[in-house]
Amino acid sequence: MTLTTADKALVVSIFGKVSSHKEAYGAEALFRLFSSFGQSKTYFSHFDLSQGSADLKRHGAKVLGALGEAASHLDNLDQALSKLSDLHAYNLRVDPANFQLLSHSIQVTLAAHFPADFTPEAQSAWDKFISAVSGVLTSKYR
């Protein structure tokens, strides 16, 4: 699966609008994840998972920040995400199924905040993008 030039442009342009709201939107995506898919809470027993909590804001910003890093290195995701890949493989060991759940939650958040921008083509680009990122993060699992 490759991101076309058009895909990359859509990822970069929408991320541009997200970047000043990383805490709020990141927290929202995480809260949507935990609300719809309770099993994902297993990795966050040390967090305050209430809506808008400081933990969710901090972690949400971190997750979206990492996606932003990825968006600036679309031609070299392996290298850009190498440390995070190690972290997920050897330390966190997040079940790969959860990446898809988080991807969905992020996409609902983006669609709700940018309804005019989140066209089917934009959705396709973001779905592929987050899929590619998830692939790198799980690449060293086994």
Enumerate binding residues for other proteins (CB under 8 A). 28, 31-32, 35-36, 51, 104, 107-109, 111-113, 115, 118, 120-121, 123-124, 127
Q: How far is the CB of 85 from other proteins (least distance, A)?
A: 25
Please, what is the Cα angle at 122 between 18 and 21, to 5 degrees?
A: 5
Q: Please, which residue, 81 or 129, has the CB nearer to other proteins?
A: 129
Q: Please, which residue, 81 or 132, has the CB nearer to other proteins?
A: 132
**45 Cβ neighbours under 8 A, 6+ residues apart:** none
Q: Please, which residue, 85 or 105, has the CB nearer to other proteins?
A: 105
Q: How far is the CB of 115 from other proteins (least distance, A)?
A: 4
Please, what is the Cα angle at 74 between 124 and 33, to 5 degrees?
A: 50
Closest CA to 61 of 94, 28, 96, 16: 28
